[in-house]
Amino acid sequence: MQDEGRRRVVIEGVKPQIDGGRFAIKRTVGESVVVEADIFTDGHDAIAGALRYRKTGASQWSEVPMTFLSNDRWRAAFSVTEIGRYTYTLIGWVDHFKTWRGDLRKRVEAGQDVTVDLQIGANLIEDASKRASDNDAAWLRLQASTLRNKGEAAPHKIKVALDDQMARVMERYPDRCLATTYERELDVVVDPKKARFSAWYEMFPRSGALVPGEHGTFQDCEARLPYIAGMGFDVLYFPPIHPIGVSFRKGKNNTLTAEPDDVGSPWAIGSAEGGHTAIHPQLGTLEDFRRLVAKAREYDLDIALDIAFQCSPDHPYVKAHPEWFRMRPDGTIQYAENPPKKYQDIYPFDFETRAWQPLWEELKNVFLFWVKQGVSIFRVDNPHTKPFAFWEWVIREVKQAHPETIFLAEAFTRPKVMYNLAKLGFTQSYTYFAWRNTKWDLTQYLTELTRTEVREFFRPNFWPNTPDILNEYLQVGGRPAFMIRLVLAATLAANYGIYGPAFELCINTPREPGSEEYLDSEKYELKSWDLESHLSLQHVITQVNRIRRENPALQHNGSLRFHQADNERIICYSKQSEDGTNTIVVVISLDPYYTQAGWLDLPLEELGFDPGQTYQMHDLLSDARYLWHGPHNYVELHPYHAPAHIFRMRRHIRTEHDFDYYM
Amino acid sequence: MQDEGRRRVVIEGVKPQIDGGRFAIKRTVGESVVVEADIFTDGHDAIAGALRYRKTGASQWSEVPMTFLSNDRWRAAFSVTEIGRYTYTLIGWVDHFKTWRGDLRKRVEAGQDVTVDLQIGANLIEDASKRASDNDAAWLRLQASTLRNKGEAAPHKIKVALDDQMARVMERYPDRCLATTYERELDVVVDPKKARFSAWYEMFPRSGALVPGEHGTFQDCEARLPYIAGMGFDVLYFPPIHPIGVSFRKGKNNTLTAEPDDVGSPWAIGSAEGGHTAIHPQLGTLEDFRRLVAKAREYDLDIALDIAFQCSPDHPYVKAHPEWFRMRPDGTIQYAENPPKKYQDIYPFDFETRAWQPLWEELKNVFLFWVKQGVSIFRVDNPHTKPFAFWEWVIREVKQAHPETIFLAEAFTRPKVMYNLAKLGFTQSYTYFAWRNTKWDLTQYLTELTRTEVREFFRPNFWPNTPDILNEYLQVGGRPAFMIRLVLAATLAANYGIYGPAFELCINTPREPGSEEYLDSEKYELKSWDLESHLSLQHVITQVNRIRRENPALQHNGSLRFHQADNERIICYSKQSEDGTNTIVVVISLDPYYTQAGWLDLPLEELGFDPGQTYQMHDLLSDARYLWHGPHNYVELHPYHAPAHIFRMRRHIRTEHDFDYYM
């Protein structure tokens, strides 16, 4: 406190910063954190500042000098090179030497006597020498004595004082005894690259049997791996793999009474055979599961598990821990409800229980159990129906021990709630994408996700379908609708997924008109899929995933920009790699029925292209190459054979004497 | 911590809130604080919330229930009734009774058996009875026993359970044992009304002599009070009234050498006769000053003093406290500079001195000294050249003892710095108004000041001129320019001021072309003004100030809206009182040379007017009344006789049988 009143620099308006530093921002390994702040002091003194950062737990800060932008705004950046947590803050100080140097130059230019000023400078330099390393210290003392030497002529002294080398050395030893440190330390969660760029494939392992009608096993899944990896996916996500309850088991198409041979919903977790850490006996053993995980990894596929914190009435917890559920006055346990609807096959946990601490510990151990089996990606079912404080705690606990873990929030709920779950720690989030089907809706939504503060904490994962969501657009639009939605999901969002094989086979019959449920949904019965169907989008998906892998522009969302198309059914947008060398322009017709044509308007200069130069548009889907010139160009899209272009934009960088003209 | 994990409600996105609660918002007595927040919980439970507030230091919180808006947003408001500081925060909780009641209704409507549900309700009601007052407790116990009574028919029990009276009583006794309190307590500084609504008149008391050429006195100022109060001003602001230094005294027109009879700049504070707590002997005595303050108060005029923390070389501080200044290596004291310019008549304080604590105390005592003489308004000179931390401390200290004190920041500097000074405590602020003269500039600037978060902490005070600023528009536009700028300042900003008599006499000759300094500026010489000049705007000013006093719409800035005018030289805007009964529409030509005409477009419905009804536009300047119908109307403005309309918009609320048709 002795010096508090002498600290003259103010640091404020620091960005990125979520809710005053209450939550961390997110990055993946190798990404940079660009920090901006308003830094200023009273009066006319020059100032300097530095961005300080460290891996959480490290004792030393690293520093990057801040660069002045304009209007009191400063900027610096650092890269996060390791998975885990980082912290950053800022420091600023009055730079008396810089002020003095600037003033001296003006005085000299005005022809003023600078005798006293040179003495002031000598003092500043000598002070700095006390902070300097041996060599620099000696050099600085020498310069100071030159400035003080009465025998030396003023012009020489001035030259010494204003020397660039002098400025550089002095910059190394600033006097920071009155520096201001920003009042908050801000956090970054650093995830593995898959947190930012991933292609998910969801399948019910029980439907993977080679023999139609049989209950699939993990071994069957092993046989399916080449098919899934061959399409280019890198996450294979299973609905719950645990024993399924029999009490109040749901029948086919969600009927209230199950037939004896009905398999039940995997989300009715737990039976006499075990709960959240057990495996459905018909799928195989824990050993089988571990082998599948290892096998999948050979295909660069991570197995993601579905964590649904709820119990069937037959779950072992119900007897062992009745205190974790809500008891009704008649002595029964409260089942899930959305009055007047009753879900008697599901008991929710009572998170208001006084025994919340053991409950939290147990649920944490469920994650840790599966981590131990080699799982590092979890799709969390309905997190918005469990307390926010629990998620913040459990995700932090798991990531403290296993920072590579990825949590995908399956919350289809109100925007504030979805954003809060992302802020408190979920790595990726399901979105409203399934209900954004027009150009206006898509543009609005993606602008919110990628151009506002939301981008700092919310990583969208776009799903054109899920076992719960067969949207109207897919129901009515047929195969072209599936192609359109595939390309939108895969190019708008760096993370996307499909629920297959229903997706690639273009299955689109709803349970009833107006419903988004599948008819004969796989949630309640075994399915056998004809993967060889002529309708299959397998080859398009393979192509799209290859394009994503080969083009860094599609591996993040921050550069997304929408461009003008004069037809409301045509949407056009671009993404660019950070270094600007990879530019992708996507043009899609949103009309699954008719041919659509129109004129695009590309901001060539913004994209780093010379408006006077011809450029090549290489359609990575059809491999066609077009030579375009200027911002306005014509496109025509046909729902059946080509509802979309994924163009790589290439500059003309060689002469006609070279073989390959464009890169 | 025992219950931390059971608290399920989240409170975030709280507004107003400056920099995560780092700074207070501002209000004046009687104003309301409207607080909004996102409040939600997991799952489908009903929630409730309250806004809590208290005068700082009070032990008890007052509470107002939050009202649901939409999209998880809630709102509540409270009024600040006393000058000083208030604190507010929020509390939210899961409302199990409300959830239960809503569910019961749905179950009953679906014809379900509700036996167990009624028992659950009885338990909730009995629990509430334990929190209730005696009467309510007995009543609630009675209702609970009815719900439990096996002899009672279900329909009667349901009627009792769903009764509105029951809901109202239960609302009084919520179970808040698991409530979430927002993590921050946010502050409000409550100022007297003059902080929000004031009309300032600046004059040099030394130029107030009745006999031309003589040095004016406080007694002369007394004689000037009827003139100033007669125009309707309520703050009379004097440049520094202290002894003026003789060393390096500036001559007329800021020349470097003063003639023997030159009076010097009042901002070169301090001589052998005293410093910041002394009075220039030629103005009078402290006794005279106190009498003037009292006399002014009889005219509802507050005297505002100029606090300029800097010293002439002759200031007593220089000898008594050399440690408060920066010493140069040659033993002299560092004078003010902006290299290569030197201001040798001014010694700035060295706020980096190790003796900063005694210096801060002394400067605080300067404020307290003048407060003791009856001054409660200070215009602070160049606050941006002294440390921000000092201002935050000194304003807080002075206001702790004298919460009615008003501080006007005279900082003409970069936007971030101006806003920071306002955040840290300045009550009002000078602005860029003098350099905003076109429709676009005015609209942009006022929108930033009144439609963004800035409105919560920055109270603009608009000055068309100051002794330092004679802007180009006034220099070239003559008397119409003065009228235009007067009406703009007085109607755009609830706080405004003029530097007189130079303003009302339309003095507009600059020291040299391109300069904003006055020729023969009063800063360096005595002036004698012809207050009877035929050019004087005295009567227009009187009218404008009367209109401001009579129309609550003009007494705050929050309701300012700009409206469409199809002529770029015509600006149109409205303000409305909080209750909507007072609507002012201002139409001004920004052209001081030529007649301008055009069509306005008023959003009648937004202003609370029936678009189908004729309304009256009563020009409060000319007293003319126009009947308008519909949004589009024609105006014509003449620079010499009427460059502006200040309309009061009146609804037709009576029939033709009444005498006065419009109110």
Q: Tell me the longest C-alpha to C-alpha distance in chain B.
A: 108
Q: Is B386 in Cβ contact with A339 (below 8 Å)?
A: no
With CA atoms as reference, the chain B residue closest to A44 would be B385
**Nearest alpha-carbon partner for B356 in A525, A8, A276:** A8
**Half-sphere CA count of A101, side-chain side, radius 13 A:** 20
Handedness of CA A258, A263, A268, A272 (dihedral sign): positive
Q: What is the pLDDT of residue B2?
A: 72
With CA atoms as reference, the chain A residue closest to B177 would be A352
| Beta strands per DSSP E along B116-197 | 180-181, 186-191
Q: What is the pLDDT of residue B641?
A: 85
CA dist., res. B23 & res. B422, Å (int): 10
What's the mean pLDDT when you consider all of chain B?
Answer: 96
Q: What is the pLDDT of residue B538?
A: 98
Token representation of residue A261:
């041979």
CA dist., res. B513 & res. A420, Å (int): 59
What's the mean pLDDT when you consider all of chain A?
Answer: 96
Q: What is the pLDDT of residue B498?
A: 98
Q: What is the pLDDT of residue A450?
A: 98
Q: Is B384 in Cβ contact with A116 (below 8 Å)?
A: no
Interface subset of B 146-185, CB within 8 angstroms of A: 178, 183
CA angle B571, B575, B576 (to 5 degrees): 155
For residue A569, name the pLDDT band (cuts at 50, 70, 90). very high
In three-state secondary structure terms, B228 is helix
Q: What is the pLDDT of residue A641?
A: 85
Percent of chain B having pLDDT more than 70? 98
**Distance in Å, alpha carbon of B587 to nearest chain A alpha carbon:** 33
Q: Is A415 in Cβ contact with B4 (below 8 Å)?
A: no
Q: Confirm if A154 and A147 have CB atoms less than 8 A apart.
A: no
With CA atoms as reference, the chain B residue closest to A119 would be B329
Token representation of residue A382:
């309905």
Q: Which letter does DSSP use for residue A343 in this model?
A: E
Q: Is A19 in Cβ contact with B12 (below 8 Å)?
A: yes
Q: Count other Cβ atoms within 10 Å, centred on residue A234.
A: 19
Helices (H), A425-537: 439-451, 472-492
Q: What is the pLDDT of residue A504?
A: 98
Q: Is A416 in Cβ contact with B40 (below 8 Å)?
A: yes
Q: Confirm if B529 and B207 have CB atoms less than 8 A apart.
A: yes
Helix axes B388-401, B356-372, angle to 10 degrees: 40
Chain B hits for A21, CB-CB cut-off 8 Å, are 20
Cα separation of the two ends of chain B: 60
**Nearest alpha-carbon partner for B164 in B241, B118, B98, B117:** B98
CA dist., res. A30 & res. A191, Å (int): 10
pLDDT, tens digit, 9 for 90 and up, residues B136-177: 999 999 999 999 999 999 999 999 999 999 999 999 999 999
Token representation of residue A228:
């899934």
In three-state secondary structure terms, A168 is helix
CA dist., res. A656 & res. B6, Å (int): 72
Among all chains, which residue has been given the structure tokens 């921002």?
A: A25
For the purposes of burial, counting CB atoms within 10 Å of the CB of B26, is it exposed (0-12), middle (13-18) or buried (19 or more)?
buried
With CA atoms as reference, the chain A residue closest to B21 would be A20
**Distance in Å, alpha carbon of B194 to nearest chain A alpha carbon:** 28
Q: Given CB atoms, is A630 within the 8 Å cutoff of chain B?
A: no
**Nearest alpha-carbon partner for A266 in A522, A73, A579:** A522
For residue A1, name the pLDDT band (cuts at 50, 70, 90). low
* CA A196, chain centre distance (Å): 4
**Distance in Å, alpha carbon of B103 to nearest chain A alpha carbon:** 6
Q: Confirm if B102 and B46 have CB atoms less than 8 A apart.
A: yes
Known catalytic membership, residue A410: yes
Chain B hits for A360, CB-CB cut-off 8 Å, are 5
For the purposes of burial, counting CB atoms within 10 Å of the CB of A329, is it exposed (0-12), middle (13-18) or buried (19 or more)?
middle
CA dist., res. A289 & res. A241, Å (int): 10
Chain A hits for B329, CB-CB cut-off 8 Å, are 116, 119-120, 123
Residue from the list A106, A115, A329 with its beta carbon closest to the beta carbon of B120: A329
**Distance in Å, alpha carbon of A563 to nearest chain B alpha carbon:** 28
Chain A hits for B420, CB-CB cut-off 8 Å, are 10, 12, 40
For the purposes of burial, counting CB atoms within 10 Å of the CB of A326, is it exposed (0-12), middle (13-18) or buried (19 or more)?
middle
Q: Given CB atoms, is A38 within the 8 Å cutoff of chain B?
A: yes
Q: What is the pLDDT of residue B347?
A: 98
Q: What is the pLDDT of residue A102?
A: 97
Known catalytic membership, residue A171: no
Interface subset of A 399-438, CB within 8 angstroms of B: 414-417, 420
Helices (H), B340-471: 356-372, 388-401, 415-424, 439-451
CA dist., res. B458 & res. B437, Å (int): 21
Q: Confirm if B454 and B16 have CB atoms less than 8 A apart.
A: no
Q: Is A339 in Cβ contact with B103 (below 8 Å)?
A: yes
**Nearest alpha-carbon partner for B182 in B290, B61, B357:** B61
Domains of chain B (ranges, CATH numbers): 1-94+183-191 (2.60.40.10), 96-173 (1.20.58.80), 198-310+356-554 (3.20.20.80), 558-662 (2.60.40.1180)
Q: Is A183 in Cβ contact with B351 (below 8 Å)?
A: no
Find the helix or strand (DSSP H, E) in which A376 lies.
Answer: none
Cis geometry, peptide bond prior to residue B403 (ω within 30 degrees of 0): no
In three-state secondary structure terms, A488 is helix
**Nearest alpha-carbon partner for A107 in B333, B350, B328, B342:** B342
Q: Which of B314, B381, B504, B591 does the annotation list as catalytic?
A: B381
**How confident is the model over A403-430, as a mean pLDDT?**
98
pLDDT, tens digit, 9 for 90 and up, residues B225-265: 999 999 999 999 999 999 999 999 999 999 999 999 999 99
CB pairs under 8 A between A and B: 161
CA dist., res. B222 & res. B289, Å (int): 10
For residue B657, name the pLDDT band (cuts at 50, 70, 90). low
Does pLDDT of A588 surpass 80?
Answer: yes
Chain A hits for B387, CB-CB cut-off 8 Å, are 5-8, 41-42
**How confident is the model over B85-104, as a mean pLDDT?**
98
In three-state secondary structure terms, B89 is strand
Q: Confirm if B503 and B201 have CB atoms less than 8 A apart.
A: no
A526 or A641, which is more confident: A526
Residue B562 neighbours by CB under 8 Å, 6+ apart: B443, B446, B447, B571, B572, B573
- Measured in degrees and rounded to the nearest 5, phi and psi for residue B151 equal -80, -15
For residue A658, name the pLDDT band (cuts at 50, 70, 90). low
Parallel, antiparallel or unpaired: strands A67-68 and A73-79: antiparallel
